[in-house]
Amino acid sequence: MAEVVSTSQFNKGMAIAIDGENFTIVEFQHVKPGKGGAFVRTRVRNIATGAVLDKTFRSGEKFDRIHTQSQTMTYLYSTDDEVVLMDPETFEQVTVSPETARQALDWVVENQQVQLLSLDGVPASVEAPNHVELAITQTDPGLRGDTAQGGTKPATLETGVMIQVPLFIEEGELVRVDTRTGSYITRV
């Protein structure tokens, strides 16, 4: 039987089922208005899609809790049918579908660390680190005098993702990127 939690037991990072979909709680706030019943305002992240939603629940509402486990894994390789990860301590390999690792594959290269999130023992998603260092494989040269203040130009990373970088960045340089926003942080 699934464990049931009420809104008074919410914690950051807790995984719950809402309308048949699995979410993790990003943040929550208990609100007691002067008039009417108390409620809980929450921000939840859909585990399958990564979408963040704002939801409001009546105080005392109950949800099925989902037991999650996060494990650091090493990304080995991927094919059209599977993504292979390895536990760096036991060297045990785990295979997940490309759909499960879709978002992380944009930001990681082989032998890089990722987080494998399992729901009730079943792999549910693969998450890239918050910051990664990747090489620029293609970008146009920046021309002096293009802008009065710092401008940007498109650049392709070694994983194939295109981001905006400052004009002084050249091909072959290593840059640090925030995977949550897809934005350039600094050159390495």
Model confidence pLDDT, tens digit, residues 108-163: 999 999 999 888 788 888 889 989 999 999 998 876 655 556 688 899 999 999 99
Q: Count the alpha carbons within 13 Å of 165 in the hemisphere toward its beta carbon.
A: 29
> Sign of torsion, CA 99 76 179 175?
negative
Residue 12 has pLDDT above 90, yes or no: no
| CATH classification at residue 51 | 2.30.30.30
Q: Which two tokens stand for residue 173?
A: 């340089």
pLDDT tier for residue 2 given thresholds of 50, 70 and 90: low
Q: Domain total for the chain? A: 3
* Statement to judge: residues 55 and 42 lie in one domain: yes
Model confidence pLDDT, tens digit, residues 66-115: 888 889 999 999 999 999 999 999 999 999 988 888 888 999 999 999 99
Please report where in the chains the tokens 């940007």 appear, as a residue.
152
* Statement to judge: residues 156 and 103 lie in one domain: no
| CATH classification at residue 105 | 2.40.50.140
Q: Which domain holds residue 102?
A: 69-127
Q: Is the pTM of this model over 0.85?
A: no
